[in-house]
Homo-oligomer: A and B are copies of this chain.
Amino acid sequence: MLLCDIGNSCAKLFDGQTLRRLSLEELEAWKENRVYYLNVNKKAAQILQNFDSWIDLEPFIELDSAYEGLGADRKALCSFIEDGVIIDAGSAVTIDVMEKKRHKGGFIYPGFEALKKAYASISPTLDKEPVWPKESLPLSTKEAIGYGMLSPLVCAINKLGEKKDLFLTGGDAQVLASYLPQALYKPLLIFEAMEKIIRRKNVC
């Protein structure tokens, strides 16, 4: 079974064993395959209009939520977790809270690449490779940027996640994982969620 998660910056194609990161242009090569997908990318939506073998899983997701405009990927992840905080660290970092199968809400933090560019846009002095935080307070610009990128986010997650399970996924999750040792790191969580939707709803 082929699963595809199309995000803001690239598509991730998973065949149950191998994970491929593809550009939108590279999707064409998989057009004739039966592929189950989730998509939050408007450009990709146009391309996919001609992909007759591809099946959008979004209409099959069941999630109890009052959130307006929740992306298909967040919806799928949340529908897979009954209780806990789900952190998906991609080009944006999304943080969602589930309680007793209900989505309570969530927030969006810029991804690390976007943050690095944000610092660089403020001043050439801040155009630096970040040094990730240590125990002590930063004592250089590189450390001050690394701390600024990561520590506020970690603080907000810990506050929301008190007495809750944390689930961590996405391309930049590994950096976060070392600052959230209590979190369960699940790099393939979105595909597990997609498989469950297909199984439950008998999509074919």
Contacts and interface: CB of A to CB of B under 8 A. Distances in A.
A104 interface: yes
B118 A122 contact: no
Contact of A110 (B8, B40, B118): B118
A106 B152 contact: no
Interface residues of A, number: 51
A194 B68 CA distance: 48
Give the number of copies in the complex. Answer: 2
Interface string A72-112: 00000000000000000001101001000000111111110
Nearest to A7: B123
Nearest to A152: B152
Contacts of A106: 137-138, 144
Contacts of A42: 124-125
Nearest to A158: B155
Given A114-B118, A117-B121, A109 B68 contact: no
A123 B73 CA distance: 14
A129 to B, nearest CB: 14
Given A108-B144, A155-B156, A122 B67 contact: no
B67 A107 contact: no
A156 B118 CA distance: 19
A110 B148 contact: yes
Nearest to A120: B114
Given A8-B122, A107-B148, A114-B122, 6 more contacts: A67-B138, A67-B140, A105-B139, A107-B143, A109-B152, A110-B119
Interface of A: 8-9, 40-42, 66-69, 71, 91-92, 94, 97, 104-111, 114-115, 117-119, 121-126, 136-141, 143-145, 147-148, 151-153, 155-156, 159-160
